[in-house]
Amino acid sequence: MKRSWISALTAVAVAGAFTLLGPPQALAQGAKARAIGVKIDGHIEYPQFSPDGTQIAYEVNFPAEKRRELWVVGWDGRSKTGDALKLVPENMASSSRYGASKRVTHGYAWAKKGQYGFAYTVSNASGAQDIYIDNWSELIESGDSANKNPAWDPNEPRFVFSSGRSGNGDLYLWDSGEPLQLTFDAQNAELYPIWDPAGQKVAYVRSGKGGSHIYLLDVAGFATMALVQFEGVESTRPSFSPDGTKVAFFSNKGLDSPTTFGLWVTDARPGGTPRNIGAKVRLPSKGAAWWTPDGKGVVAVMDNPDKGDPICIFPVDGGSPNCLSGTGTRNNRDPQLVLVDAQWRIVFTAQQAAAGSDSTWQEMYVYDVPR
């Protein structure tokens, strides 16, 4: 499938690499966060930088219409460049299958290597969810079920995804051809896969009547093993540390509400002891928590409405989190800590701190942290 919209964005974007950063000893407060300037009557969710840092993909949620859209905008390291472009595959032009009133695009994932730029899920008029792949000739069809959560191998042009085609939901590997089934569990659903940095193992969530647990899959050997099994509670959204030795995840273990989560870390091998490093945090709208590249901290939003739900870096080895209190925003969500043009920068969604008509929707913001 063609990438004409990427060419259009590249023409207006200034190339520049970016790198994730570890936490400083203390987070000094700078100027307030500034809105990126993408205006739309819906909640912006889960912004993601492209691997080269020149584009941002984001999802827009229209609650009243029960509809979602995916957009991409150019980024020059300081501000957006050009107009934002809505992602609509050629396959969705037909009103017979992908009617405009039923169209839903969501679950965007940037590719890390190779000839494919990205993948995301599209829903047809009946609600079935297929996966669209940039620069590939066909959709990965679900058989009137759901294909979702594409997660790209960091080293190869392939991804793992969850599919309901075989029952409750199993993991499949797409490698430029017919998907290969990786798990065969008739009783549980396998969700939220994520690769380790070496591209050899996948952490994922096994969800069933006994709760949701974190598992590890050896892709080459089709072998699965449990990492976290808190019986009767939910553990979800795993993410690997940069060196692949630890896994962060969210769990409602020990909390008084099934919808309240803490931030946890465990070793990326069976037999580890999970540690709670954040008492109450906000679950991201999509995806998992971000690690700092030195493996010493995990970025998440503290669940504290009285303080505006601040963005914090939680030390893996324990101790108080380093929180950003000067952003001038509230209801902070989906933070990504990056380095752009030698500047420490948080990209996230939020609302203005002062209530008013301009703070109805979640918008994209950036916040520069003085070094």
Is 28 inside any structural domain?
yes
Residue 54's nearest CA partner among 127, 117, 135, 132 is 117
Residue 27's nearest CA partner among 305, 251, 335 is 335
Ramachandran angles phi, psi of 307, nearest 5°: -105, 10
Is 151 inside any structural domain?
no
Residue 255 CA to residue 258 CA, distance in Å, equals: 7
Is 293 inside any structural domain?
no
pLDDT tens readout for residues 212-233: 999 999 999 889 999 999 999 9
Percent of the chain with pLDDT over 90: 60
pLDDT at 89: 66
Residue 3's nearest CA partner among 169, 79, 114 is 114
Residue 339 has pLDDT above 90, yes or no: no
pTM of the predicted model, to two decimals?
0.88
Is 229 inside any structural domain?
no
161-165 CB contacts, 8 Å cutoff, 24+ apart: 161/119, 161/131, 161/193, 162/189, 162/190, 162/191, 162/192, 162/193, 162/204, 164/189
pLDDT confidence band for 350 (50 / 70 / 90): very high
pLDDT tens readout for residues 313-335: 999 998 899 998 888 899 999 99
First to last CA, the chain: 43
pLDDT at 371: 56
pLDDT tens readout for residues 52-83: 888 999 999 998 888 889 999 998 877 899 99
> Residue 63 is which amino acid?
P
> What residues does 351 pair with on adjacent strands?
330
pLDDT confidence band for 23 (50 / 70 / 90): very low
Domain range for 60? 1-86+326-352+360-371
Burial 258-272 (b: 16+ CB within 10 A, else e): eeebbbbbbebeeee
Is 270 inside any structural domain?
no
Residue 94 has pLDDT above 60, yes or no: no
Domain count within the chain: 1
Is 40 inside any structural domain?
yes
**92, 101 contact by CB (below 8 A):** no
**252, 233 contact by CB (below 8 A):** yes
Is 292 inside any structural domain?
no
Is 331 inside any structural domain?
yes
**321, 313 contact by CB (below 8 A):** yes
